Amino acid sequence: MRKDNKAMYAPNGEPESTVTVLLTGADSQLSKALIRVLAKAAYRFDGRTFRVHALSHAQLDIGDKQSVAAAFAHVKPDWVINCAAYNAVDRAETAADEAFRVNSLGPELLASECALTGARLVHISSDYVFSGEPAEAAELALNQNGLTDSCLSNSGLTESGLIERGLTESATPRPLSVYGQSKLAGEQAVLRILAERAMVIRTAWLYGVDGHNFVKTMLRLMATAPYGQPLSVINDQIGSPTWADALAHLIWQLIASPLNDSGGPKLFHYAGQGQCSWYEFALEIQRQALALKLLDKAVPITAIDSLSYAAKALEKGNKLAPRPSYSALNSDKVRQRLTGQNPALTHCPELWRDWRWQLKAMLEDYAAKGL
């Protein structure tokens, strides 16, 4: 019920429940997408009204026990959505203590406070918990409509005869970087402490109109590149680009779903459908941006392998953390959980579409905002 004591009603005529949500990492692109998507839905999803308290790092340091306890005492959340993270993948290699404090200890403290107060937790994790090495490739689901020929040849997976649908939740994590190790430790802590009262969602290659991300970086570089100077983009890392607004829709619908009380621990993968290399992603960004007149000229884009790219970065004094060679995610489990065989039940038409459709929706939004 609302504080003014005026009941709101769901379409079935039943009184609508109000869910209080503590949203961490308020300055992140996903937090901003969550707030934007919820506002467009008039703060209602599937018969529930949401009241959100979004706290930035300055307001809530999730790696500090007292800060977490104070936030819970003030907000009294029914749900917590943890978008706070240490995302500086390369810096984490030399700042492991801070990466683990935020990405591992932080989720553990949130989960412990949820256990004390009865709140539930949605925790966001990463495809970087995987390595993409052959041991993981053997655990992938097979699909004849998976990777493009160029992706397969670049990834080296053609030799094994595998055409992939993406990593499922049953694939064994083998993080290559400190960042990936810290994210894995965080999700394990959450599931250990809260079990079925938590949802861990691994996502990949996240982008949107807010914050720093690959799409916005490519648009800036393409717009400012000197005439004829090519951009070099990695072609042997394969993943699934994911629009932040689509992930936000998924999160609200999962929280609002009556299914959230059933079953055991909930580990889900969600990403845009399909898969590509960073190089193919860059080509598609440019193609769509030119069509939308976000760019006024095409820029040459050349493919480069990871080792060569890292060597060039090292020449400039930048040491890169290792990235997974293959980390495309299979979203079948969460799709079946949420919709069964009926994708029309979702609020977002791009939710289960190919990553190119999600990119189109984001770029149209970007153009409309005049960014």
Q: Tens digits of per-residue pLDDT, 13-25?
A: 444 578 999 999 9
Distance CA 273, CA 107 (A): 28
Task: Give me the chain's average pLDDT, please.
Answer: 85
Arithmetic mean of pLDDT, 343-351: 74
pLDDT on residue 139: 55
Q: Which residue type, as a one-letter code, is found at position 310? A: A
Q: For the beta carbon of residue 6, count every other beta carbon within 10 angstroms.
A: 7
What does the pLDDT read at residue 133?
A: 74
Residue 345's pLDDT is what? 63
Assign residue 76 a region (left: φ > 0; alpha: ψ between -120 and 50; beta: otherwise): left
Average pLDDT over residues 258-268: 70
Contact 121, 200 (CB under 8 A): no
pLDDT at 258 over 70: no
User: Tell me, what DSSP letter sits at residue 326?
Assistant: B
Place of tokens 């949802």: 199
SS3 content of the chain, % helix, strand, coil (to 5): 45, 20, 40
Residue of 179, 279, 309, 366 with catalytic role? 179
179 is catalytic: yes
* E-assigned strand segments in 111-257: 120-126, 141-142, 164-166, 198-203, 206-207, 231-234, 238-239, 242-243
What is the helix (H) or strand (E) element at residue 207, kind and residue range? strand 206-207
What are the tens digits of pLDDT across the range 296-342? 999 999 999 999 999 988 888 888 999 999 999 999 999 988 876 55
- Quick: pLDDT tens for 120-169: 999 999 999 998 875 555 555 444 344 444 444 444 443 333 335 799 99
**Per-residue exposure over 301-315, b if at least 16 CB sit within 10 Å of its own CB, e if not:** bebbebeebbeeeee
- Residue 329 DSSP class: B
Calculate mean pLDDT across residues 222-234.
90
Q: Which amino acid is at 66?
A: Q
What is the pTM for the complete model shown? 0.87
Q: Whole-angstrom Cα distance, residue 184 to residue 107?
A: 11
Instruction: Kindly tell me if the per-residue pLDDT of 278 is higher than 70.
Output: yes
Nearest Cα neighbor of 236 from 158, 162, 172 is 158
User: What pLDDT does residue 152 have?
Assistant: 40
Decide if 21 contacts 51 (C-beta within 8 A). Answer: yes
Which residue type does 153 have? Answer: S
Q: Which CATH architecture has domain 17-368?
A: 3-Layer(aba) Sandwich (3.40)
What is the C-alpha end-to-end distance of the chain, expressed in Å?
38
At residue 155, the pLDDT reads 41
| Residue 3: per-residue pLDDT | 38
What is the pLDDT, as a whole number, of residue 202?
Answer: 97
Beta bridge partners of 324: none
CA nearest to 124, candidates 179, 190, 26, 59: 190
Instruction: Evaluate if residue 370 carries a pLDDT over 80.
Output: no
